[in-house]
């Protein structure tokens, strides 16, 4: 017991002895930005650079290019294949380091990559994917020369039609380090811990089974670095996660897969999942192919059978029943905060206020357009309202009911960038939960094949022993640390332009937004 810190000693008064005995020292992860290079040989690029046989290897291109597209390794006679993905393309034409015209032999050629057409979709267009990959690689928001239109998608509504109304000059000149991006997760004065996270987001629930253990660990390690959280999803709690207990959220969902007293007692936040945005009203669904022996063991299920979480909780018929659920957890873990994850039906505002009255600390709204797991296609776009509406509706209702200051409102389901985060907060959320963006940072191309068979061919959302090896935990962690860093910088720049010292000042400031399809004359 001596190895525990002072904080750990305090836990002795709260946690049962058997839980304390199984507690392991908590690991610290650095949030230092380090390059985390793409794991594929040919990173997808907007432009492709071709080098012809006319090249005399004079090295001028390598000398000129500030982006290190051209690499002539010491001791090598020939250039390596150009790193096309680092090329800024057309933006470079106006500069004096444009290799295409500067090459004395005219041996270089640039073309737009025709493959870009096949990359991305309305919600995650190619530019947004490419920009997210760059952020995960170097921890910086994309440089403007790359001309990535990554701040909005092409869905034609919601966040993609909302813009910030920045003042011409900030009302207060602030330095980056004067701006606070932390939020509090307990607004109730109920004697429970006041947990603060350093960024206004945490990682969404993705179970072991839906994603690999490497993906889960990378997520929680990045969350640890940024003093925030990641969620177990409904798939049990891997032993390997115990060094990160303080940054894990245990999810209690309807199937109760892997839910045990000790997994509830280990952590600081428990999330009740009533519904999820990927398939609102339909429960959880892990197809049999992904239920490998390791997954089955942790879920205490039979190998190879599809696992359904019935919808909803069979023990909850009312808000009063929900309150009993919360009380149950509060008794089991006397230090935990409770989150209630719901989807976005018409009466989402009533659900939220009911959940608040039942005693939840965090109301987590999961809008219909997000989700990372397997879902019937019919559920993805047709059930429940998009998160943009739900945030504004719930925020207003909680304000009107006088409950807004006492509960934390978290939004998810289609949060793709730091700009989406800021818009969600301005519409009324305190913070957000992210999911797909983390998968993209790990190399997801949104081919949507994560649901069945061996699962994700890119080794992220799979439990196939062969495919899982594609990702290394250190690399995965660093990619996510880098993404978090870039997002935090992006968010600070937004707050800076508004002259805000804290992200908490942005909550509910919809007056700082405009919608391109509205008159904006209110």
Partner 1 sequence: MPEKYHIKTTPVPPRLPRIGKHGIVDWREDCARCHNCVKKACVYDRHRQEAAYIRNLKHSDFLFFECMGCFSCVQNCTKDLLCLTINSEYKKLGNHYWTPEIIHITWQQAETAAVPVSGAGYRGRFAGHGFDSMWTDMSEIVRPTRDGIHGREYISTSVDIGKKPSYLTFDSDQKISGLPAVIDIPMPMIVDMNPAEFTLPQLESYIVEAVKLTDLIAIVDSAKWPSALNDNQMKSIEAYLPHIAFHLNPDAPEIPFDVVRKTRLVEIPDGDDVLSRIAELKEKYPGLIISVRVALDSKGVDRTVELSRSGVEVIHTVADFNGDEIGVESPGFIKDMIREIHTTLIKEGIRDEVTIIASGGFALPEHMAKGLLCGADLISIYLPLMIALECRLCSSCRPGLICPARLEDINFAYGVGRMRNLIAAWHLQLIELMGAMGMREARRLRGDVGRAMFFEQLEEEIFGTLFGSRKRA
CA-based nearest residue to 477, from 172, 68, 154, 31: 31
CB atoms within 10 A of CB 300: 12
Separation in Å, CA 378 to CA 16, 24, 121, 453, 460: 45, 44, 17, 20, 24
With a CB cutoff of 8 Å and minimum separation 6, the contacts of 398 are 349, 352, 353, 356, 404, 407, 409
As measured in angstroms, the least distance from the Cβ of 420 to partner 1 is 13
By CB under 8 A, residue 285 contacts partner 1: yes
**Single residue of 59, 171, 288, 453 touching partner 1 by CB under 8 A:** 453
Applying CB under 8 A, among 49, 86, 252, 385 the residue interacting with partner 1 is 385
Instruction: Give the residue, chosen from 73, 94, 314, 331, that forms a contact with partner 1 under the rule CB under 8 A.
Output: 314
Among 57, 330, 334, 446, the residue binding partner 1 under the rule CB under 8 A is 446
By CB under 8 A, the residues from 83 to 122 that bind partner 1 are: 114-115, 117-119, 121-122
467 contact partners, CB below 8 Å, separation of at least 6? 212, 454, 455, 456, 457, 458, 459
Nearer to partner 1, 24 or 452 (CB): 452
**Nearer to partner 1 by C-beta: 89 or 371?**
371
447 binds partner 1 (CB under 8 A): yes
Beta-carbon contacts of residue 42 (< 8 Å; ≥ 6 apart):
81
Please list the residues that pair with 208 across neighbouring strands: 211
Residue 80 is classified by DSSP as: P
Q: Which of residues 131-190 bind partner 1 (CB under 8 A)?
A: 155-158, 160-161
Contacting partner 1 (CB under 8 A), which of 384, 407, 411, 486? 384
User: In whole angstroms, how close is the CB of 401 to partner 1 at the nearest point?
Assistant: 16
DSSP state at residue 115:
G
Q: Is 276 in the site for partner 1 (CB under 8 A)?
A: no
Q: Which is nearer to partner 1, 118 or 172 (CB)?
A: 118
Minimum gap (Å) between residue 1 Cβ and partner 1: 44
Residue window 325-364: x/- pattern of binding to partner 1, with contact defined by CB under 8 A: -----------------xx-xxx---x-------------
From residue 18 to residue 47, the character string flagging contacts with partner 1 as x (rule: CB under 8 A) and all else as - is ----------------------xxxxx---
User: Is 299 a residue that touches partner 1 (CB under 8 A)?
Assistant: no
> Binding partner 1 by CB under 8 A: which of 233, 258, 359, 373?
373
Residue closer to partner 1 (CB basis): 248 or 480: 480
Which of 514, 485, 474, 510 minimizes the C-alpha distance to 29?
474
| Contact yes or no for 119/44 (Cβ under 8 A) | yes
CB of 308 to partner 1, least distance (A): 5
Which among 218-226, 242-250, 495-503, 508-516 is the span making contact with partner 1, rule CB under 8 A? 508-516
Contact flag: residue 81 with partner 1 (CB under 8 A): yes
Touching partner 1, residues 389-418 (CB under 8 A) = 389, 392-393, 396, 414
In the numeric block, the tokens 């990619």 are attached to 479
Among residues 407, 378, 372, the alpha carbon closest in space to that of 276 is found at 372
Q: How far is the CB of 447 from partner 1 (least distance, A)?
A: 4
Minimal distance in Å, beta carbon 188 to partner 1? 22
Rounded to 10°, the helix 418-427/473-498 angle is: 50
Cα gap 428→495, rounded to integer Å: 15
Minimum distance, C-beta of residue 477 to partner 1, in the bound complex (Å): 22
323 binds partner 1 (CB under 8 A): no
Residue 372 binds partner 1 (CB under 8 A) = yes
369 makes contact with partner 1 (CB under 8 A): yes
Greatest distance between any 2 Cα atoms in the chain = 78
- Candidates 66-74, 327-335, 403-411, 511-519 — which segment interacts with partner 1 by CB under 8 A? 511-519
Nearer to partner 1, 275 or 483 (CB): 275
What distance in Å separates the CA atoms of residue 511 and residue 177, rounded to the nearest whole number? 26
- Give strand pairing partners of 241: none
Answer yes or no whether residue 218 interacts with partner 1 by CB under 8 A: no
| Per-residue burial over 457-485, b = 16 or more CB atoms within 10 Å of its CB, e = otherwise | bbbbbbbbeebbebbeeebbbbbbbbbbb
What is d(CA 422, CA 72) in angstroms, rounded to the nearest whole number? 42
CB atoms within 10 A of CB 287: 17
Question: Which residue do the tokens 């945490």 mark?
Answer: 202
Nearer to partner 1, 117 or 405 (CB): 117
Cα atoms in the 13 Å half-sphere on the side-chain side of 56: 6
d(CA 42, CA 71): 14
CB atoms within 10 A of CB 310: 12
Measured from the CB atom, is 225 or 437 closer to partner 1?
437
Instruction: Give, as one character, the DSSP assignment of residue 142.
Output: P
- With binding defined as CB under 8 A, does residue 458 bind partner 1? yes
**Interface with partner 1 includes 53 (CB under 8 A)?**
no
State both tokens at 136.
Answer: 């995960």
Q: Total residues at the site for partner 1 (CB under 8 A)?
A: 99
Classify residue 25 by its DSSP letter. P
366 and 341 Cβ atoms separated by less than 8 Å = yes
368 binds partner 1 (CB under 8 A): yes
For partner 1, what does the binding mask look like between residues 462 and 481, x meaning CB under 8 A? -----x--------------
510 binds partner 1 per the rule CB under 8 A: yes
Q: Smaller CB distance to partner 1: residue 182 or 510?
A: 510
């Amino acid at each position: 017991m001596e190895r525990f810190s002072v904080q750990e000693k305090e836990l002795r008064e709260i946690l049962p002895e058997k839980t304390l005995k199984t507690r392991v020292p908590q690991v610290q992860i650095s949030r230092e930005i380090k390059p985390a290079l793409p794991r594929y040989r040919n990173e997808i690029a907007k432009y492709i650079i071709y080098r012809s046989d006319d090249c005399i290897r004079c090295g001028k291109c390598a000398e000129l290019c500030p982006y290190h597209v051209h690499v002539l390794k010491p001791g090598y006679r020939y250039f390596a294949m150009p790193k096309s993905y680092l090329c800024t393309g057309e933006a470079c034409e106006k500069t004096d380091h444009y290799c295409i015209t500067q090459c004395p032999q005219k041996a270089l050629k640039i073309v737009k990559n025709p493959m870009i057409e096949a990359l991305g979709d309305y919600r995650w267009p190619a530019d947004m994917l490419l920009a997210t990959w760059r952020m995960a690689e170097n921890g910086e928001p994309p440089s403007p020369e790359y001309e990535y239109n990554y701040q909005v998608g092409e869905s034609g509504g919601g966040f993609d039609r909302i813009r910030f109304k920045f003042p011409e000059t900030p009302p207060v000149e602030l330095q980056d380090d004067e701006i606070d991006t932390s939020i509090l997760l307990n607004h109730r004065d109920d004697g429970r811990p006041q947990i603060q996270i350093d960024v206004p987001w945490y990682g969404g629930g993705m179970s072991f089974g839906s994603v690999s253990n490497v993906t889960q660990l990378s997520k929680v390690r990045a969350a640890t670095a940024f003093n925030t959280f990641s969620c177990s999803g409904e798939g049990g709690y891997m032993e390997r996660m115990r060094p990160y207990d303080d940054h894990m959220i245990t999810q209690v969902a309807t199937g109760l897969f892997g839910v045990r007293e000790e997994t509830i007692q280990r952590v600081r936040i428990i999330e009740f999942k009533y519904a999820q945005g990927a398939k609102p009203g339909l429960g959880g669904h892990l197809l049999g192919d992904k239920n490998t022996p390791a997954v089955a063991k942790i879920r205490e299920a039979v190998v190879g059978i599809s696992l359904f979480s019935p919808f909803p909780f069979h023990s909850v018929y009312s808000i009063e029943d929900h309150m009993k659920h919360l009380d149950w957890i509060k008794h089991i873990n006397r230090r935990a905060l409770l989150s209630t994850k719901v989807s976005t039906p018409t009466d989402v505002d009533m659900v939220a206020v009911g959940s608040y009255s039942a005693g939840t600390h965090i109301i987590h709204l999961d809008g219909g357009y997000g989700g990372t797991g397997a879902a019937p296609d019919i559920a993805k776009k047709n059930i429940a309202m998009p998160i943009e509406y739900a945030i504004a509706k719930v925020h207003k209702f909680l304000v009107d009911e006088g409950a807004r200051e006492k509960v934390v409102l978290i939004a998810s389901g289609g949060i793709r960038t730091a700009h989406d985060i800021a818009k969600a907060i301005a519409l009324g959320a305190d913070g957000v939960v992210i999911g797909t963006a983390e998968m993209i940072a790990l190399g997801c191309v949104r081919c949507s094949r994560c649901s069945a068979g061996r699962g994700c061919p890119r080794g992220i959302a799979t439990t196939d022993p062969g495919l899982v090896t594609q990702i290394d935990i250190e690399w995965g962690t660093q990619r996510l640390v880098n993404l978090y860093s870039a997002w935090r910088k992006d968010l600070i720049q937004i707050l800076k332009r508004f002259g805000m010292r804290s992200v908490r000042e942005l909550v509910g400031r919809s007056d700082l937004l405009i919608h391109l399809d509205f008159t904006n004359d209110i």
